[in-house]
Amino acid sequence: MEITGKLVNKLPQQSGEGKNGTWVKQEFIVETQDQFPRKVCIALWGDKVRDLDPIQIGDSIKVAVNVESREFNGKWYTDVKAWRLEKQDSSNQMGINVIPPMPGIDETPPFIPDNITTEEGDDLPF
């Protein structure tokens, strides 16, 4: 799943010791650019925490995430974990590729002769 939006906040890094050794985690908030913007808290774990360093608050980003829920003592908890983080340029905020026209190529539509009648020009069977 991918989320595209604007980086709103970087929360402080957290670290600790677990049964598998030392862990590090950093959460950040992304606001989508939809008609009804939503804020999503996303977590980076381990070495992926460094991927957030060059990105500034206000930058447009695209984040590939996994969403997972787990139960603990009768309550359910949902994690949104990032596994890829990309900074987007300002022309690509919504994840839409904007391709500029090729230099020297005329953008006018192709010539369509006026003398084609429906019977001559329409050879489709339907």
- According to CATH, the topology of domain 2-90 is OB fold (Dihydrolipoamide Acetyltransferase, E2P) (2.40.50)
Q: Which has the higher per-residue pLDDT, 99 or 30?
A: 30
CA separation for the pair 36, 54 (Å, rounded): 28
pTM of the prediction?
A: 0.67
pLDDT at 115: 60
- What residues have CB less than 8 Å from 95, skipping those under 6 apart? 2, 4, 62, 88
The tens digit of pLDDT for each residue in 87-117 reads 987 654 444 444 555 565 555 555 555 665 5
Domain ranges of the chain: 2-90
